[in-house]
Copies of this chain bind each other. A is one copy, B any other.
Amino acid sequence: MYFVCYFLLYKNMKSIQEISTLVHNGIREIDFPDQPSGLYEPLQYVLGLGGKRLRPLLCLSACNLFNEEALAQALPLALGIELFHNFTLIHDDLMDRSLVRRNKATVHIKWNENTAVLSGDALQIMACQQIALAPADKLKDCLDLFNQTASEVCEGQQLDMNFEMLDNVSKEDYIEMIRLKTAVLLGCSLKLGAIAGGAPARAADLLYDFGIHLGIAFQIQDDLLDVYGDPDIFGKAIGGDIINNKKTFLWIHSMETADDHTRSLFLNCMKSSYMDREEKIKMVTSFYNRLGARESCEQQMLDHQQSALKALNKLGLDKEQLITLSELARKLTYRQV
């Protein structure tokens, strides 16, 4: 009897492959208006660049835990989050003056700055239109969570820009910045999926916490990959954060750990204008290596990965049910891309 129930339970969940197909078909079927083409073509371009589609996968996986029949209702929420994420990429790339995204020219480079501003705005509105498709009885909750998250993402980007002007950023400030800039959108994706699936409030909150820790671990891994990744796999040039004087976890650890003499050498090296690109990356990396920045960063990443898995386990579901999310958490934090 137990075996039968067990079997039925997992029969009532979609596999990760099925979830992934739902996401990819959903994105492919998003209906961009034809005109004005100057507004909508850049959006098709950006969505067509691909990416991990992590956020919609998290959203549908969370819904799948509670009610696989609600996946169709969760899909617009998943798509809304992916559109919003792509909107932030367009505007962030413009603000950061990034030339390349996923091995292709960014929107303000391929078109121009005005196009990046206005097409980005249109994409944010399209995201809201998807969120507005939430089931009527859950619409208000979904909207409030989405809007709150969207505000926080802007606040995170502002803090990130502020940090570029500062020589003194603490680990706590940094974690708060990446929580806002990256992690809350992962938490929001999961919680929206849980809400659509009819999860109890506590379960939805635990999934949100899972997303927060996952997002922080994910971002710290991103910092590591920027310095220690394989450029052929990573899809962008190594050392971009060093060249742009980004205050990453590696940087903050080094500033906090170094003695006064080393710190002053390190700062001179970061601010140097006479070194060429490769030389600067090599020098800063050797500081990182000497000061144990990589190990500290990996430990911090692992701590958040563990906190994420703990939140997941508190859901009180079977391991087999959680396998999609726990595997995602592991893959995302030990990734090379």
Residues of B with C-beta under 8 A to A157 = 118
Q: How far is the CA of A281 from the CA of B147 in the complex (A)?
A: 46
Pair A125/B139 contact, Cβ less than 8 Å:
no
Say whether B132 contacts A36, CB under 8 Å.
no
Most buried by B among A121, A122, A155, A162: A121
Residues of A104-145 at the interface with B, using a CB-CB cut-off of 8 Å, are 113-114, 117-118, 120-122, 124-126, 128-129, 132, 136, 139-140, 143-144
| Cα of A148 to Cα of B139 in the assembled complex, Å | 17
A304 in contact (CB, < 8 A): no
- The verdict on A245 contacting chain B, using a C-beta distance below 8 Å, is no
B124/A124 in contact, CB under 8 A = yes
Whether, in the assembled complex, A54 has its beta carbon less than 8 Å from a beta carbon of chain B, the answer is no
Instruction: Please indicate the chain B residues that have their CB under 8 angstroms from the CB of A118 in the complex.
Output: 91, 95, 154, 157-158, 161
Whether, in the assembled complex, A264 has its beta carbon less than 8 Å from a beta carbon of chain B, the answer is no
Q: Does A94 interact with chain B (Cβ within 8 Å)? A: yes
- In the complex, whether A151 has a CB less than 8 A from a CB of chain B is yes
Q: Bound state CA distance, A159 and B39, in angstroms? A: 9
Bound Cα distance A150, B33 (Å): 14
Cβ of A38 < 8 Å from any Cβ of B?
A: yes
Chain B residues positioned under 8 Å from A125 (CB to CB)? 124, 147, 150-151, 154
Q: Which residues of B contact A151 (CB under 8 A)?
A: 122, 125-126, 129
A143 contact set on B, CB distance < 8 A: 128, 132, 139, 143
The count of residues in chain A whose C-beta lies closer than 8 Å to any C-beta of chain B is 37
A129 to B145, CA, bound (A): 10
Residue numbers in B under 8 Å from A159 (CB-CB): 36
Cα-based distance from A131 to B50 in the complex (angstroms): 32
Please, which residues of chain B bring their CB within 8 A of the CB of A95? 114, 117-118
Q: Is the CB of A147 within 8 A of B121?
A: no
Q: Which of B33, B36, B120, B128 contacts A128 (CB 8 A)?
A: B128
Please measure, in the bound complex, the distance between the C-alpha atom of A154 and the C-alpha atom of B144, giving whole angstroms. Answer: 24
CB distance from A51 to the nearest CB of B (A): 20
- Closest B residue, CB atoms, query A142: B132
Within the complex, the shortest CB–CB distance from A132 to chain B, in Å, comes to: 4
Q: What are 14 A-B interface contacts by the 8 Å CB criterion?
A: A35-B155, A36-B159, A38-B158, A39-B158, A91-B121, A94-B117, A114-B161, A117-B117, A118-B154, A118-B157, A120-B121, A128-B143, A132-B143, A139-B143
A positions within 8 Å CB-CB of B? 33, 35-36, 38-39, 91, 94-95, 113-114, 117-118, 120-122, 124-126, 128-129, 132, 136, 139-140, 143-144, 147-148, 150-151, 154-155, 157-159, 161-162
Q: Which 6 A-B pairs have the closest CB atoms?
A: A39-B158, A122-B154, A36-B158, A95-B114, A132-B143, A125-B150
Beyond the given A122-B154, A124-B124, please list 20 additional residue pairs across the A-B interface where CB-CB is below 8 A: A35-B155, A36-B158, A38-B158, A38-B161, A39-B155, A39-B158, A91-B117, A91-B118, A91-B121, A95-B114, A118-B158, A121-B124, A121-B154, A122-B151, A128-B128, A128-B150, A129-B151, A132-B140, A132-B147, A143-B143
